[in-house]
Amino acid sequence: MVSFAQSETYVQGVFGNSQTIYHQLVSTPGEISKLIDVDMPKLGNLDTCVRIIVSKRGNHYLYKIEDTNDLNSVSRIVYIDYSELLKVNKALKKIAKDVDYDCQTNPDYLENRYITEDGFRIGYYVKNGKADWFVKMGDKNYSVVRLSKDVIFENFTVAQKKIESLKRLFDDPY
């Protein structure tokens, strides 16, 4: 699952969930949670890290993407749960197979993207026979960040591998 947060608020997901997974994990009254961030390479001009949430309910691993360059001076944050990250990477491989064909059809506009349950979008659009890859932080009024296909694939693959190595370290330290 993906979560959006602005300060202490959250954005309602596309499918009507009233709380995001991140909000549920860090907002349980009377429970101690430890938040650990591991810095990751930038995704274009977006800051990224892996956030580990340690609580009595177990460890949770999320890929955090933050746009601190917003003109509103409010950063946009997306949290992609490990299980959702696996789905994103699988979807990226699948839609990448279509990009050459989609460019050759030379549509006026074509968009091929994956949308997480909370509205994070990743994919490409084709215009004038050329594909531009992008990420979009949410459904409304969030800017589209154009990136190269290689940068997107590399960052999301590296994030998955980093989480898998951290899971081995934190979940089974012996």
Note the pLDDT of residue 173: 61
Please name the amino acid found at residue 142: Y
Whether residue 6 is predicted with pLDDT greater than 80 in this model: the reply is no
Give the chain's length.
174
For residue 114, which of 132, 94, 141 has the smallest C-alpha distance? 94
79: which 2 tokens? 């949290």
**Range in 48-57, 68-77, 151-160, 161-170 the model is least confident about:** 68-77
Please name the amino acid found at residue 85: L
DSSP string covering 88-144: HHHHHHHHHTTHHHHHHT--S-EEEEEE-TT--EEEEEEETTEEEEEEES-SSSPPE
Tell me the β-bridge partners of 59. Answer: 54
Please name the amino acid found at residue 159: A
Residue where the block lists tokens 């330290």: 173
Model-wide pTM > 0.85: no
**Range in 57-66, 110-119, 135-144 the model is least confident about:** 135-144
Residue where the block lists tokens 């001076």: 73
The full set of domain ranges for the chain reads 2-169
Greatest mean pLDDT among 14-18, 118-122, 153-157, 170-174: 153-157
Contact 62, 82 (CB under 8 A): yes
**One CATH from 1.10.30, 1.10.150, 3.30.2450, 3.40.50 for 2-169:** 3.30.2450
Tell me the β-bridge partners of 166. Answer: none
Give φ, ψ of 65 to 5 degrees: -120, 130
Whether residue 139 is predicted with pLDDT greater than 80 in this model: the reply is no
What is the spatial distance between Cα 111 and Cα 170, in angstroms, rounded to a whole number?
A: 39
